[in-house]
Every structure is written in C-alpha cells, then in structure tokens.
C-alpha cells in the first residue's frame, strides 16, 4: 500500500464515521427527552463541525440544514480525492 492509498483510506474511514455520527445526531434530535452519556459524546463530537454551517440557515427557520451541508461537503471532498488519485 502506498502513501496515497493510505491517506485516501484514512479520509474515507473518518468521513464515513463522521457521516454516521451526524446521522445519529439527527435521529437523536427527534427524541429530545433522551439525554445520557452516549448522546453527550455524539453532540460533543459533531457540534464543532456543524456549528459553522448553522450560519447558512435562514433566520427563524425551524429546520437545521447544517447536517445536509456537511453531508454535501463530505461527498464533494470524497469525489475530489477520488479524482485526484
């Protein structure tokens, strides 16, 4: 395995893990009464990534589009990395 493949595999693993964590957070947001150590870890990991994208949300919108923005960005980054190899 060369260095490029290693880097691509690491990025693929990290982006997949991040996608899964954000997806879990979205599901947890539908159950606001569930608060425990697991949910706190999920929120602590995903909040620094989602917070900058919240500025893109329309004012007074009841929906949070930041997870969708991160999903799209991850998809674009994956495609760019795939094309570069």
Instruction: Please report, in tens digits, the pLDDT of each residue of the chain (85 residues total).
Output: 688 888 888 889 999 999 999 999 999 989 888 889 999 999 999 999 999 998 888 888 888 899 999 999 999 998 898 887 7
Q: What is the pTM of this model?
A: 0.84
Helix axes 37-50, 3-29, angle to 10 degrees: 120
**Helix or strand run (H / E) with residue 72:** helix 66-84
């Amino acid at each position: 395995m060369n260095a490029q493949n290693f880097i691509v595999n690491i990025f693929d693993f990290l982006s997949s893990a991040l996608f899964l964590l954000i997806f879990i957070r979205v599901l947890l947001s539908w159950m606001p009464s569930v608060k425990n150590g697991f949910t706190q870890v999920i929120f602590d990991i995903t909040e620094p990534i989602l917070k900058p994208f919240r500025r893109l949300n329309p004012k007074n919108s009841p929906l949070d589009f930041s997870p969708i923005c991160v999903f799209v960005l991850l998809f674009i980054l994956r495609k760019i990395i795939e094309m570069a190899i």
